[in-house]
Copies of this chain bind each other. A is one copy, B any other.
Amino acid sequence: MHTYAIGIDIGATNTVIGLVRNDGQIVGKETLPTQIYTETKSYIHDIVEAIRKVMKDCKVEAIERVGIGSPNSSYETGCIEENTVNLRIKERIPICKMITEELGVPAALDNDANAAALGELVYGGAKGMSNFIVYTLGTGVGSGIVIDGKVLRGHRGFAGELGHVIVDPHGRKCGCGRVGCLETYAAAASICRNYLEAHAEMTGSEPTEEQKNITCKHVGELAAQGDKAAIAAYDKAAYWLGFALANAVAFSEPEGIFLFGGPTQVGDILMKPLKKYFEEQLLFLYKGKVLVELSHLPSNDAAILGAAALQ
């Protein structure tokens, strides 16, 4: 007997509503253009209508819960906070309360890294694990930490900022105002910087304007073609990720660590050196005992699956 949940991914362009079966299959999807909404009431109205439509289309009569993944969100209050950059609605949105009132099921809201962690737990590679970490690589580096089967939230809800662990006190300046955060080596733009530095070092020449605007995806393609500077760029990200992951193990001794997000789609180009550096830098107690893997969630639908796992 299958059960169902709704996962909502609120992005700057689209708000995607997915109907997710308990085995992780997305059986239906609706999309709303996020930027047309300037008022909370009509936004929530259309989300609720989209949920009803996708349920009807798929002949699903009952859902267990609704989960929403959104930036600038508060798990505690169930509200999207004021002045969220990606929305034209600038007031605080009590989205969980409003959806529950309409549909009579529980609703939960969280940021994308915690949603990714719960998605991995419910539908992905962390099934059956009660202690694991997901690192999300993208514009920044985020993390969702699960302890005893629950997302670790911290004293005021700000636990799990593992992209801002300082790995090299003499390293690169970070957007957070400090120096040497993991994010400065392993976020998408940081991998581009790794590439430009490696390229300059290997060729002795300054990068062209075109090279300066390279994307992480393109660095990944070059690496797949055997470009040495591109491979070195991922190797540097892998080194500092391996280092940071090994230190994280000394904290919570997870059963597994999963890597998620665009920059991980190069697969072994990142994961092979990462696993090597990770094992080299682990304390003897942990060597060979902690799984490090790519996320098992399908990259296109991971955000919906993560949201659907929230509760």
Contacts and interface: CB of A to CB of B under 8 A. Distances in A.
Interface string A266-308: 0000000000000001011110011000000000000000000
A205 B153 CA distance: 51
A163 B291 CA distance: 23
A252 interface: yes
8 contacts: A155-B253, A155-B254, A155-B289, A156-B253, A156-B289, A164-B283, A176-B283, A247-B247
A206 interface: no
A166 B251 contact: no
Nearest to A256: B155
A252 B178 contact: no
Nearest to A290: B155
Nearest to A153: B253
Given A178-B283, A283-B176, A252 B154 contact: yes
Secondary structure type dominating chain A contacts: loop
Contacts of A145: 251-252
Contacts of A159: 251-253
Nearest to A174: B283
B251 A177 contact: no
A161 interface: yes
Contacts of A248: 251
Q: Which of A161, A164, A251, A284 has most B Cβ within 10 Å?
A: A251
Contacts of A150: 148
A158 B286 contact: yes
A154 B253 contact: yes
Contacts of A152: 147, 251-252
Contact of A254 (B154, B255, B284): B154
